[in-house]
Amino acid sequence: MNINQSATSPLAPELIEQFRKIVGDRHAITDAADIEAYVTEERNLFHGRSPLVLRPGSTAEVSAICKLASEHKIALVPQGGNTGLVGGQTPHNGEVVVSLRRLDKIREVDTASNTMTCEAGVVLQIAQQKAAEVDRLFPLSLGAEGSCTIGGNLSTNAGGTAALAYGVAREMALGLEVVLADGRVLNALSKLKKDNTGYNLHNLFIGAEGTLGIITAATLKLFPKPHAVETAFVGLKSPAAALKLLTIAQGEAANALTSFELLSELAVDFSIRHGIDVRDPLEAKHPWYVLMELSASSDDARTPLETILERAMEAEIVDDAVIAASLAQRAAFWKLRDEMSAAQKPEGGSIKHDISVPVAAVPAFIAEADAAVVKLIPGARPVPFGHLGDGNLHYNVSEPAGCNNTADYLARWHEMNAVVFEIVLRMGGSISAEHGIGVLKRDELPDVKDKTAIELMRQLKAMLDPLGIMNPGKVL
């Protein structure tokens, strides 16, 4: 949706003062140096600009901000932990940033209903810890969990390493509180698993990236805390072998299999080379690796894990494996995995793809995509890794070793996207599995999404945000 000029015009001093009165002097930021942290993102792909950052401390303040913005056609960009990877949280055209970080209260934990009601600015790791304190599990887990927020997780429908067993963020939310563009508050903070009273409105805002309204709170599902967790690091020859291992693991462990990560040799090598205190858990190098984890309600997850590995070794699917002998070793396995994104930076430019294909198609996708990107850019280095259990791969491609012009390489971003996305779509996959659309994939979306779906999305946007002030230029 195009934004009218008034939505991105410079803010008049009297309007800044009106916004300031809503949140208080301390929480209306106008100094350029202080604003900088809100207009840049960790990959340095996007750099925005904003005349004003507002840090509301309540839903009522968010409502007042939206009402004032609507009256004066002022564009707003909601922001959580600013960890997004597709530019959705960046004010590209001088919009006002609405930072939700001060909405950081956990309003209620209900162990009988197995729910937790959090405000949007609660950091994911804090939500995990609060659940653990009452012997429950909030299973959403991703690399940025120490800084990303619940509101951002829901706005982008985050996935993470436990989606295989528990699903993505959408499946962990029973209800939401949302401030609409005109300042109205939708209170749908239901704890109910069964509620057939009409349309499921809260789901409209999950994955909408703040383009339909601002999530201010959520009722989240909690799960029984596992009594036993066992983790293995496995070396094998190919993605096809990893797929066979996944089949054995699912047959043996069923729902106890909570994570199954596929890691290429180059991804592991980058982590070891550039990570801090990262080492290879296995004695020899392997073309591919799997990081798998079982979580059991009983006290024994090790027996089924050992059985899985024994069967896979007997079938010559697995070449080597080690089971974590301590919490520290388990943490070391996961640190190697979590360092993979950051470890690509010292290797130069990296063109990213957050894609998903049917699980059975993952080996064929990797083979085709590897051949296609190297044909497009000779010497390009595919660095695939990700969540094999749900078909979601971070298919990143690093610039050729010794490349002398990173800018020229990155200028071919959309050209490489086209090559990779063609394979993804032919295999029945998605060009965005868990990171969202933002601006990075906005222009490709109409070409890959069902035409009727795009029409309905535009109609919903026009109905809920007729002035186009909610995170303009993102998704659509």
In 3-state terms, what secondary structure has residue 100? coil
Q: 265-285, pLDDT tens digit by residue?
A: 999 999 999 988 899 999 999
Amino acid in the structure at residue 354: D
Token pair for 394: 């971070």
Task: Give tens-digit pLDDT for 291-327.
Answer: 999 998 877 899 999 999 999 999 999 999 999 999 9
The residues, ordered by sequence, that sit 6+ positions from 300 with a Cβ below 8 Å of its Cβ are 228
Tell me the whole-structure pTM to 2 decimals. 0.91
Specify the length of the chain in residues. 476
Contacts of 373 (CB under 8 A, 6+ apart): 380, 382, 397, 416, 419, 420
Close Cβ partners of 271 (under 8 Å, ≥ 6 residues apart): 278, 336, 337, 339, 340, 343
| Closest to 341 in 3D by CA, of 359, 354, 328, 356 | 354
Contact 390, 159 (CB under 8 A): yes
Residues 6+ away with beta carbon under 8 Å from 82: 37, 38, 41, 42, 89, 147
With a CB cutoff of 8 Å and minimum separation 6, the contacts of 361 are 391, 427, 428, 429
Is pLDDT at 255 greater than 90 in this prediction? Answer: no
Count H helices, E strands: the chain? 16, 19
Look up residue 396 and give its DSSP letter: E
pLDDT (mean) for 248-256 = 91
Q: Convert the pLDDT of each residue in 174-224 to its tens digit.
A: 999 999 999 999 999 999 988 899 999 999 999 999 999 999 999 999 999
Tokens 């010292």 sit at which residue? 346
Bridge partner residues of 173 (DSSP): 220
Helix orientation angle between 413-426 and 362-376, rounded to the nearest 10 degrees: 150
Strand partners, 99: 79
Per cent of the chain over pLDDT 70 is 98
Q: Are 394 and 341 in contact (CB under 8 A)?
A: yes
Question: What mean pLDDT is predicted for residues 106-119?
Answer: 97
According to DSSP, residue 135 is labeled T
Q: Provide the CA 274 distance to its chain's centre, in angstroms.
A: 23
Question: Residue 375 — very low, low, confident or very high, per pLDDT cuts 50/70/90?
Answer: very high
Q: What is the pLDDT of residue 4?
A: 37
Partners of 161 in the β-ladder: none
Question: Can you list the alpha helix ranges (DSSP code H) found in 40-196?
Answer: 59-72, 124-133, 150-155, 163-166
pLDDT at 9: 58
Report whether pLDDT(422) > 60. yes
CA-to-CA distance for 252 and 114, rounded, in angstroms?
28
214 contact partners, CB below 8 Å, separation of at least 6: 62, 66, 76, 78, 98, 100, 120, 151, 178, 179, 470
pLDDT band, residue 404 (cuts 50/70/90): confident
pLDDT at 6 over 50: no
pLDDT of residue 276: 85
How far out from the chain centre does Cα 100 lie?
17
Q: How much is the pLDDT for 182?
A: 98
pLDDT band at 32 (very low <50, low <70, confident <90, very high): very high
**Mean pLDDT of the chain, nearest integer:** 94
State the helix-helix crossing angle for 59-72 and 13-23, rounded to 10 degrees.
Answer: 160
pLDDT of residue 463: 97
310 touches 344 (CB < 8 A): no
User: What φ, ψ does residue 179 adopt, rounded to 5°?
Assistant: -95, 125
* pLDDT value for 363: 97
Rounded Cα distance between 103 and 137, Å, is: 22
- DSSP single-letter state for residue 40: B
Q: Band the pLDDT of 2: cuts 50, 70, 90.
A: very low
Is residue 44's pLDDT more than 90? Answer: no
Average pLDDT, stretch 431-457?
92
Our CA dihedral for 398, 401, 407, 409, rounded to 10 degrees, sits at -60
Consecutive H or E run containing 38: helix 32-39
